[in-house]
Chains A and B, each alone.
Chain A
Amino acid sequence: DAGITQSPRHKVTETGTPVTLRCHQTENHRYMYWYRQDPGHGLRLIHYSYGVKDTDKGEVSDGYSVSRSKTEDFLLTLESATSSQTSVYFCAISEQRPYEQYFGPGTRLTVT
């Protein structure tokens, strides 16, 4: 998985609790991304980062926040989890060119 790890790999949590997912890379790539994948919707971008402390929103950012304090780590936080955030979350990394993205193994999150 191109030197990308995600933790935890599986998590079950209750509605209203905060949740943080971690993505860690050893490739020193500048760009990092968080996606969610749901049946019928495919992969959708939540947030992405183009450098340390530089982040921007994707198409489904409501209810999510991110932080990147080091090149290698990109955190995704659900401030107050809802059942609609039950999904599989993937982290990806890329360099500026040729825009190829490489994915981590994913985190399966269930909100009950």
Chain B
Amino acid sequence: EAGVVQSPRYKIIEKKQPVAFWCNPISGHNTLYWYRQNLGQGPELLIRYENEEAVDDSQLPKDRFSAERLKGVDSTLKIQPAELGDSAVYLCASSLNSGTDEQYFGPGTRLTVT
């Protein structure tokens, strides 16, 4: 069974530029999560999708971050414009459903903003 796929694995951009990350969850998983992991910290949830609906985006900085999950499968997380403080690893995870189901994580995208 294929795991969670993310691309790109690494991205370096200058501040004020836009950037997008892509995630393909495990087939059949209805719930998708985006996390941000700052250096030396644990992951922190940004947004959670149930199918195509964003059911919890309370921790997403909406002034510059946006996300979508068209057709309830793949998802894209965008930052526009990027700031120096956005440098982090962006992790995507998926689970069959919310609640008690195990979350499976992708390898992440390491973003460096210069």
The answer to whether A and B assemble together is: no
